[in-house]
Amino acid sequence: MQKFKDYLESNIPNLDTIHPHYNSALKYIINNSGKHFRPKLLLSVVSAYEPFLIESSYKVAFALELFHTYSLIHDDLPCMDDSNLRRGKETLHILYDEATATLIGDALNTYAFELISTSSFRSDIKVELIKSLATNGGLSGMVLGQAIDLEFENRPIELKDVEELHRNKTAKLIASSLEMGALIVGLDSPTQKELYSFGIDLGLLFQVQDDIIDVTSSELEAGKPIGNDSEKNSFINIIGLEKSITYANTLADRLSGKLDSFDKHLRDSLKELLNVYLYRHKQF
């Protein structure tokens, strides 16, 4: 996926503006992007069936990464999780100010949809891609999850409610990444639904893994402040570390089984990516 990383770095917007640090803030936050997991999921599905569409898909994958980055910028703001570190570097509101961070987040949110709308795919496919990202990342998805998360700080909720929280906040955008790849290559509706369901489980696994890492790793290993979830409805705070590890193992085993049930092209393409991630909670 090195070519996607090169694409991302060479397509950072650079506006002709009198603003003293708008461009530098954009460059800083995009260059400080992480492992590009969500774009890699999308591209893995495309690669499995239509590898000649990979380069055409970079713009959509870029949009997905920018949308995810916007969510992290806002998540780190003082009015939300108030974090001063992300991916091992200063968060945007610390490096600049809250207004800049908020506006850059807003810009990346809307720019993501502009990128999809100007991609080279047919109009009907672009509409479906935009719908998937908007539905899973917006009012009834990621934003709802963040609202639930903030509302119930210091107010413990049940495990089923924690699952609802993180199904929205984390899992739906991961599921959308797989769904968008399926839309690009024209997979049938049952396969799209199967991939989406796989993505929901994968998102829940990622969240419980993050919760485990928050209490078992160093700040350097995590790339962000650790121990910040004491007031949150994390899996650790609701069911404890030992049961959270069991929960993660169960999800990882289920996902591994689902992977083996996919056709060879999809299984091999996703395994190449996911073998690194399924049991990452055991590394700390």
Q: Which amino acid is at 171?
A: A
Structure tokens at 141: 């998805």
Residue with structure tokens 């690669």?
Answer: 47
Residue with structure tokens 């397509």?
Answer: 11
Given this structure, which CATH class describes domain 2-12+19-283? mainly alpha
Q: Are the CB atoms for 171 and 188 separated by under 8 Å?
A: no
Q: Are the CB atoms for 174 and 204 separated by under 8 Å?
A: no
Closest CA to 31 of 60, 9, 13, 10: 9
Q: What is the pLDDT along the chain (284 residues), one digit of tens a residue?
A: 779 989 999 999 999 999 999 999 999 999 987 889 999 999 999 999 999 999 999 999 999 999 999 999 999 999 999 999 998 899 999 999 999 999 999 999 999 999 999 999 999 999 999 999 999 999 999 999 999 999 999 899 999 999 999 999 999 999 999 999 999 999 999 999 999 999 999 999 999 999 999 998 765 555 555 555 567 899 999 999 999 999 999 999 999 999 999 999 999 999 999 998 999 988 76
For the chain, domain boundaries: 2-12+19-283
Residue with structure tokens 């968060």?
Answer: 91
Structure tokens at 146: 């963040």
d(CA 6, CA 28): 15
**CB-side exposure of 52: number of CA atoms within 13 Å?**
0
